[in-house]
Amino acid sequence: MKVFLLGGTKDSTNIITHMKENYDVFILTTTTTEYGARLAREAGSDDTIARPLLKDEIIEIIQKDNFDILIDATHPFAAHITQTSSSIARELEMPYIRFERPTTNLENIETSHIHYVNSFDEAGKLIDGKFSRGNVLHFAGANTMADIIRYVPPERFYPRILKVESSLKKCEELEIPSDHIIPMTGAATLQENIDLIEKYSASVMITKESGEIGGVIEKIEAANQSDIAVVMIKRPEIEMLDKNDIVSDLKELDKKIENF
């Protein structure tokens, strides 16, 4: 079986490891960064592509190399690529799986510090109007910084990002001081989040609703213990995605593959 995997997430590396252990499979993983590609190779991916691909490029690769299945394990907020990948599968009439991590279960978590918004622009406006004092921890990736910086001055802004060239360039373009950049190497622990809040005198934290695997619970708990606000961006609803194509764990993935 030849698998075309849209990756770049912890979910995707888990899928690679699982499939290489349980199936006779060749996996090509695409990511947007060399860092993501390296993690995919370490997980066992047979080949990688470390750059964003256009729809026509994906179609060409799938057809040229006769891939059997398309799996989308991109981030829950990468709505565009999920829309694109599902349309490719329909166009090529090939098996398609969207691996979508479950939303965070907050049943036993204190949520009074959370302020939900629908976009990063809305997050910036909220912080400008309601949290104009203290510093801002941005735990939502380099690509979303510009929407916040429209409303929050760089001297108050502390992003936690991968220290890769593209992200550092974005910081430079937005005039974010270099000593404000917090290196990211994976999901932070509860104590690490608390330490960052104290170190940077933060009054608010920005995060995506990216699921437990993205460390959301540890961020909320740290905010609760430190008595600061959490501005949480809700997941986008992805249009034209068939719910029957969605799985949320490896067991569901196996059942879906067995039915193809």
**Per residue in 239-253, pLDDT tens?**
777 888 999 999 999
pLDDT bracket for residue 162 (50, 70, 90):
confident
Which amino acid belongs to residue 51? R
Q: What is the DSSP letter of 167?
A: H
pTM of the model: 0.76
- Write out pLDDT tens, residues 27-56: 999 998 888 999 999 999 999 999 999 999
User: Which stretch of DSSP H or E encloses residue 197?
Assistant: helix 190-199
- Give the gyration radius of the chain's Cα atoms: 19
Closest CA to 12 of 95, 108, 98: 98
What distance in Å separates the CA atoms of residue 230 and residue 212, rounded to the nearest whole number?
A: 16
What distance in Å separates the CA atoms of residue 45 and residue 42, rounded to the nearest whole number?
A: 7
Average pLDDT taken over every residue of the chain: 92
What distance in Å separates the CA atoms of residue 85 and residue 155, rounded to the nearest whole number?
A: 39
pLDDT bracket for residue 68 (50, 70, 90):
very high
Quickly tell me which residue has 């941005």 as its tokens: 138
User: Which stretch of DSSP H or E encloses residue 48?
Assistant: strand 47-50
Determine the angle formed by the axes of helices 34-43 and 10-22, rounding to 10 degrees.
Answer: 30
What distance in Å separates the CA atoms of residue 8 and residue 16, rounded to the nearest whole number?
A: 11
Which amino acid belongs to residue 74? T
- pLDDT at residue 106, as a whole number: 80
105 against 170, higher pLDDT:
170
Identify the structural domains of the chain with CATH numbers, from first to last: 2-102+238-258 (3.40.50.720), 114-233 (3.40.50.150)
Which amino acid belongs to residue 65? D
| pLDDT mean over 202-226 | 90
CA dihedral 179, 181, 186, 189 (to 10 degrees): 70
Cβ-based neighbour number of residue 246 at 10 Å:
16
- pLDDT at residue 116, as a whole number: 96
- pLDDT at residue 215, as a whole number: 84
What distance in Å separates the CA atoms of residue 258 and residue 32, rounded to the nearest whole number?
A: 29
